[in-house]
Amino acid sequence: MNDARHRLSGAALLREAVRGRRRAVTGGTLLLMTHQVAEALVPVVVGVVIDRAVATGETTALLWSLALLALLFVVLSNAFRIGYAIISRAGFAAEHELRVRLAQRVLDPAGGATAGSMPGELLSIATSDAKRAGAIAHVVAFGAAGIAAIAVAAVVLLRISVPLGLLVVLGLPPLLVVVNRMARPLVRRAGEQQERAAQVSGLATDLVSGLRVLRGVGAQDAAVERYRRSSRDALEATLRAARMEAAFDGAMKVFTGAFLVLVALVAGRLAAAGRISIGELIAAVGLTSFLVGPLEMLTWVGAELARARASAARIAAVLSRPAAVVDGTRAPASSRGDLRLRNVSHEALRDLTLDVRPGEFVTILAGDPDYARALLACLARDVDPQDGTIELDGTPYDAIELVQLRRTVLVAPHDAELFGATLAEAVAAPAGSATALDAALAATTADELVATLPDGLDSSMTEGGRSLSGGQRQRIALARAVLAQPAVLVLHDPTTAVDAATEARIASGLRRVREGRTTIVLTSSPALLAIGDRVIVIEGGAVAAAGSHNELLHRIDGYRDAVLA
Amino acid sequence: MNSLGLLPTAGAADTRRAVRELARPYRGRAAATLVVLVAGSAAGMAVPPLLGLIVDRVADGRAPAAITQPALALLVLTIVQATLTAFGTAMIARLGEPMLATLRERVVRRALSLPLEQVERAGRGDLLARVGDDVGAVADAVRNALPALASSALTIGLTVVGLAVIDWRLALAGLCAVPVQALTLRWYLRTSTPVYAAERAAGSGRAQQLLESIGGAATVRAYGLGDDHGARIAARSHDAMALALRTVRLQTRFFAQLNGAEWLGTTAILLVGFLLVRDGAVSVGEATAAALYFVRLFDPLNTLLGLFDEAQGAVAGLARLVGIVGLPEPREPDAPPLPRDASVRATGLRHAYAPGREVLCGVSIDIAAGEHVALVGVSGAGKTTLAKLITGLHQPTAGEIFIGGASIADLGPTVTRRTVGLVTQEVHVFAGPLADDLRLARPGASDDELWEALERAGAAGWARALPERLDTVVGHGGHRLDAAQAQQLALARLALADPPIAILDEAAAEAGSAGARELEASAARVLAGRTAIVVAHRLTQAASADRVLVLDQGILCEAGTHDELAGAGGRYAELWDAWDQARRVAPRKTPPGP
């Protein structure tokens, strides 16, 4: 399973995306090719109308040539309408599929996908990169359509006159390539300037995000002044960029325009010499000016392809990150909640051995946050310890199916995210029995909090509970953990944001509600440490002392200093 | 008091007035720009007649050499047109960009001085969207839509003139397309506006879900919610996809109808041209020129009509920006009294965030200059609200606050914020070099002063260890500071701002116990020499304060020194017991070990 993940490349991902919807991509591409060809033929048919009807005055010729024009427009319009919709649907579907796949990988119980990325980075991969990679459908279709249009125009021009056709076919593409090459540094510098200009927007949102902080130290005038300076810088940069872009566009227009004049001159002379007709003259001029469109489109296709590949490579990199742990196959033997750690060494942990008996309430003081971090990661099986074993009810940790394991051993993160739009959703309140819910809310004093809110548990909260205060969030998160009623509950600094009186009530509430179930609390708060059947002190990566809170206070100076401040 | 409701959006008339006001300094520049653009488009107008002239000369059976002269004229025109258009485009930027810069500066200035209550009530997201997305939408319009709009509109207008110069009947034929286009545009704008709004909403719903699930991936895994959240993401992504597809369908229908208009106009011109040539009213070349005029119009027309969307979005954004700019400035007194000293007095303070739900019910306090006071109480007792009122960030619904003997209302916002500083548990590290972050609090500070402030806040150690010390980029996208470091940075800012009165609102809450003690020491150093009000959960801070004020359900229920209150058997004694009991070393129950 994992091997398949390892060798995934961006290009393969794009090929898969196209192959997965081959029929849609092919159909859409053919229709868009048709549209481009029809567009190319508009000036040709206008030439025919003038040549056969306007110049001759023949009514029948007028009727059939105008009918031809109408037919052309019907084809052109419908081919685009249907083709573009088909291709867009294919592109959106590819984008959607990549996004869902990425999300599944990130949320996979085996973990490992988030290694080394900030959430913001993954978010941008899941949104913009998925979109860019999905645009491969458009790249394929418009690329093919552009090539088709150029081919048709070339054929028509060559049929009108071989020298004229050769002039256009051999002259125009190199001209555009040369102009683009010459302009590349200009465009790049313009892009850099635009980027500098874009920073000003980031500054504005950053300052508004920190509005309260600014106000607190009376820094808003300084902030306004900083923004004003940055805005003026951005203005200069934008104006420079605009001048460069205008110069580039102007140069482009001069070159393509001059080439068009050359074609008109040659075609005009050929027509005057009687070698081509007036209609063909019009068609030649019209086709040459039309050709600029598809040629520029191919430039766009090239750039878009490069972007799609870069984005696909970023997606592939996340998809192929190795899993942090390998999923087990067995169900937990029972749910007694018997945990045994044997000689566990992982990161800061050195040879840690610890037994937690079923139903025991153990509190742990980690002398260094690194010990806590490593121990929590091992208990949650976010990682396998570098050395040593962990057993749950006699079954090795790594043999148990991950989802089952975490249902049995819940390691509630300290900075847990709240989900949902209401408090009820945030605590994951079950639909049926209210007893467990009431007990969990009461044990964590969340019931008092709920009582002060206008709609109780149905009160809404925004953005992961950021509308709540720190203490409120912490109590709701704790209530959720308790309500999950796992056989083993592991908590980490669950009461840092609540006052002493509330903390004391939470401590006794936890003790009561977890009676008979295994509970481990990592904390440095004396109120919580004191309620443990046993306090474990981790120092130097291993258990340094164990005993009751009181006993340790007397026995170990370091414990007293760490706890009683 | 409407001013405290949601953030306003300006009406159409106000928006126009604001734009005119912004444009006033650039009237001359605008006229020059218009002249250049018109000249450029007019030069372009001469191209089809010259091509028509070539056709005529061929039709008249002239020699090949007769083609050279109109071709040379064409070349000159092309160069003139391209040059003028380039200048015109650059001039549009010189016109629109300074206006845009002025507008965004005004928006940010007003946004940063809005009453916090108003921002919080409206949701910070709204304000963020305005200074971010709306400014962006208007900027894009100025940068991309405006030049295209100007040149397209001019080309179209001049084409009609060009057609009329050849023959008015040809112009009329070309205008056949206009009603179709007008109807199409009306239909499109009506239909698309709600669809686009729904698409944007679905897109932000998707982003929200991704942020929640990916940002909270650890929690998702811990609770085994992976499948559930995967399904939620899939559903949101699917919604967004369905709506994006709907907008595509609308667009393709829109362009298909515009194709119909193109066909109608081209056919009409060819038909009229046919009749006019037959009657000898125009030459074949002139009919050709007319047809070419019209075919050349396809692109500018589609551009113009397609841009209406973007323009609509930009106008909506503009209205939201003008709404912010139009908010009344905070009132500053003409000659504010100077606070006599750093004392704080408040009488009968009341405050309610929502009507009928008072969080402060008549609180009076009196704090001497230089006194350190701890504000204590359970969560929800009103401590934070009291702190916000004293800082002048929120207005009391009743009661008055005096700083150094002068009422806050008389002092005005500027003097108040220079006098009272506040650090809360909300930490924000401003993106950019560390030195820039600190200098927000004191713009002219020297590096030595910055280091001194960091030293006092206990942050000098880690700041010195940063890769580029004061120049290290911190905050969003830079070096990440942990919660305790960010809080020390906040204290350093306070030291630099150097207000005579400082309020700390649970500035040590999130740092764990060891970190909290360190932060308390930092805070004590920064607070030395100031009047200080410290909102504290950790009662060690209360114990070391000169005086403790206890709030309970919006009422000041006790005040006194720690020693007085701890033994008084009241609310504070209860809190202190809970705190102290956990920390008390009970008599030994077990004999001492070996």
Confidence band, pLDDT 50/70/90 cuts, at residue A467: low
User: Which residues lie closer than 8 Å to B37 by C-beta, 6 or more apart?
Assistant: B84, B85, B88, B91, B92, B150, B151, B154
Q: How far is B212 from chain A (nearest CA, A)?
A: 7
Tell whether the model's pLDDT for residue B38 goes beyond 70.
yes
- Read off the pLDDT of residues A247-300 as tens digits, 9 standing for 90 and up: 888 888 888 888 888 888 888 889 888 888 888 888 888 887 777 778 778 877
pTM attached to this predicted model: 0.79
Q: How far is A38 from chain B (nearest CA, A)?
A: 12
Helix (H, G, I), strand (E, B) or coil at B7: coil
- The total of other beta-carbon atoms located within 10 Å of residue B2's CB is 6
Of the ranges A275-284, B16-25, B144-153, which one carries the lowest mean pLDDT score? B144-153
CA B518 vs CA A423, B487, B509, B511: distances in Å? 34, 11, 12, 9
Q: How would you classify the pairing of strands B501-505 and B531-535?
A: parallel
Mean pLDDT of B313-317: 81
Tell whether the model's pLDDT for residue B3 goes beyond 70.
no
Please give the Cα distance from B97 to B122 (Å, whole number): 29
Asked if B240 contacts A157 with a C-beta cutoff of 8 angstroms, the reply is no
Mean pLDDT of B368-379: 86
User: A100 contacts in B (CB within 8 Å)?
Assistant: 230, 233-234, 237
**ipTM of model:** 0.84
User: B443 contacts in A (CB within 8 Å)?
Assistant: 222, 225
Tell whether the model's pLDDT for residue B5 goes beyond 70.
no
Kindly determine whether residue A80 and residue B259, on different chains, have CB atoms separated by under 8 Å.
yes
Cβ–Cβ contact B208 with A under 8 A: yes
* Residue carrying the six token digits 């949102």: A205
Q: What is the per-residue pLDDT for B124?
A: 67
Tell whether the model's pLDDT for residue B513 goes beyond 60.
no
- B409-428 residues touching A, CB cutoff 8 A: 417-418, 421-428
Mean pLDDT of B395-411: 86
Q: What is the per-residue pLDDT for A522?
A: 93
Closest chain A residue to B210, measured at CA = A123
Please give the Cα distance from B284 to B166 (Å, whole number): 11
Best B241, B429, B575 residue to mutate vs chain A (most A CBs within 10 Å):
B241
Closest C-alpha among A298, A389, A411 to residue A344: A389
Buried b (16+ CB within 10 A) or exposed e, A390-410: bbbbebebbebebebbbbbbb
A491, β-bridge pairs: A412, A521
Give the containing element (helix H, strand E) for B5.
Answer: none
Please give the Cα distance from B312 to B327 (Å, whole number): 23
The four Cα atoms B12, B17, B22, B24 give a dihedral, to 10 degrees, of 140
- For chain A, helix (H) and strand (E) counts, in that order, are 21, 10
Q: What is the per-residue pLDDT for A433?
A: 67
User: A462 contacts in B (CB within 8 Å)?
Assistant: 123
**CA B359, chain centre distance (Å):** 31
CA B525 vs CA A173, B453, B491: distances in Å? 72, 10, 10
Confidence band, pLDDT 50/70/90 cuts, at residue A26: very high
User: A199 contacts in B (CB within 8 Å)?
Assistant: none
Please give the Cα distance from B362 to A314 (Å, whole number): 59
Tell whether the model's pLDDT for residue A415 goes beyond 80.
no
Could you write out the three-class secondary structure of B325-392? HCCCCCCCCCCCCCCCCCCEEEEEEEEEEECCEEEEEEEEEEECCCCEEEEECCCCCCHHHHHHHHCC
- The structure tokens listed for A166 are 């050769």
- Read off the pLDDT of residues A486-543 as tens digits, 9 standing for 90 and up: 999 999 988 887 877 888 889 999 999 999 999 999 988 888 998 999 999 999 889 9
Helix (H, G, I), strand (E, B) or coil at B555: strand
Kindly determine whether residue B82 and residue A282, on different chains, have CB atoms separated by under 8 Å.
no
- The total of other beta-carbon atoms located within 10 Å of residue A433's CB is 8
Cβ–Cβ contact B540 with A under 8 A: yes
Please give the Cα distance from A155 to A158 (Å, whole number): 5
User: A70 contacts in B (CB within 8 Å)?
Assistant: 263, 267
Angle of CA points B221, B223, B228, to nearest 5°:
80
**CA B387, chain centre distance (Å):** 27
Kindly determine whether residue A54 and residue B93, on different chains, have CB atoms separated by under 8 Å.
no
Q: Which of A222, A471, A551 sits opposite B443 (nearest CB)?
A: A222
User: B393 contacts in A (CB within 8 Å)?
Assistant: 212, 215-216
Helix (H, G, I), strand (E, B) or coil at A362: strand
Tell whether the model's pLDDT for residue A238 goes beyond 90.
no
Tell whether the model's pLDDT for residue A462 goes beyond 70.
no
Quote the mean pLDDT of chain B. Answer: 84
- The structure tokens listed for B325 are 């700019």
- The structure tokens listed for B427 are 């930490």
Asked if B80 contacts B294 with a C-beta cutoff of 8 angstroms, the reply is no
- Say which DSSP state B507 is in: T
* Residue carrying the six token digits 């325009």: A257
Cβ–Cβ contact B104 with A under 8 A: yes
DSSP-based helix, strand, coil % in chain B, nearest 5: 65, 10, 20
Kindly determine whether residue B241 and residue A227, on different chains, have CB atoms separated by under 8 Å.
no
Kindly determine whether residue A76 and residue B259, on different chains, have CB atoms separated by under 8 Å.
yes
Cβ–Cβ contact B582 with A under 8 A: yes
Tell whether the model's pLDDT for residue A3 goes beyond 80.
no
Q: Which of B112, B428, B493 sits opposite A224 (nearest CB)?
A: B112
Q: What is the per-residue pLDDT for A450?
A: 84
Cβ–Cβ contact B339 with A under 8 A: no
CA A245 vs CA A58, A173, A241: distances in Å? 49, 21, 6
Q: What is the per-residue pLDDT for B414?
A: 83
Mean pLDDT of A430-447: 82
User: Which residues lie closer than 8 Å to A354 by C-beta, 6 or more apart?
Assistant: A339, A340, A341, A344, A536, A543
Cβ–Cβ contact B55 with A under 8 A: yes
Residue A341 phi, psi dihedral angles, 5° rounding: -110, 125
Closest chain B residue to A529, measured at CA = B582
Asked if B214 contacts A108 with a C-beta cutoff of 8 angstroms, the reply is no
Kindly determine whether residue A553 and residue B585, on different chains, have CB atoms separated by under 8 Å.
yes
Percent of chain A with pLDDT over 70: 94
Quote the mean pLDDT of chain A. Answer: 86
Q: What is the per-residue pLDDT for A1?
A: 40
Closest C-alpha among A50, A41, A269, A293 to residue A161: A269
**CA A522, chain centre distance (Å):** 33
Q: What is the per-residue pLDDT for A464?
A: 66
Beta strands in A384-522 (DSSP E): 387-392, 395-396, 409-412, 488-492, 518-522
B504, β-bridge pairs: B423, B534
Residue A488 phi, psi dihedral angles, 5° rounding: -125, 125
Of the ranges A162-171, A232-241, A455-464, B76-85, which one carries the lowest mean pLDDT score? A455-464
Give the side-chain half-sphere CA count within 13 A for A113. 30
Confidence band, pLDDT 50/70/90 cuts, at residue B123: low
Please give the Cα distance from A366 to A537 (Å, whole number): 6
Please give the Cα distance from B309 to A164 (Å, whole number): 41
Q: What is the per-residue pLDDT for A91?
A: 94
Asked if A220 contacts B112 with a C-beta cutoff of 8 angstroms, the reply is yes
Q: What is the per-residue pLDDT for A104?
A: 92
User: B427 contacts in A (CB within 8 Å)?
Assistant: 213
**CA B370, chain centre distance (Å):** 39
B365, β-bridge pairs: B346
A349, β-bridge pairs: A346
A224, β-bridge pairs: none
Best A102, A161, A208 residue to mutate vs chain B (most B CBs within 10 Å):
A208
Tell whether the model's pLDDT for residue A461 goes beyond 80.
no
Mean pLDDT of B179-183: 89
Give the side-chain half-sphere CA count within 13 A for B245. 20
**CA B389, chain centre distance (Å):** 26
Mean pLDDT of A375-403: 92
- B146-205 residues touching A, CB cutoff 8 A: none
User: B82 contacts in A (CB within 8 Å)?
Assistant: 250-251, 253-254, 257
Closest C-alpha among B109, B103, B215, B494 to residue A208: B109
The total number of residues written for chain A in this structure = 565
Residue A75 phi, psi dihedral angles, 5° rounding: -60, -50
Closest chain B residue to A480, measured at CA = B223
A365, β-bridge pairs: A537
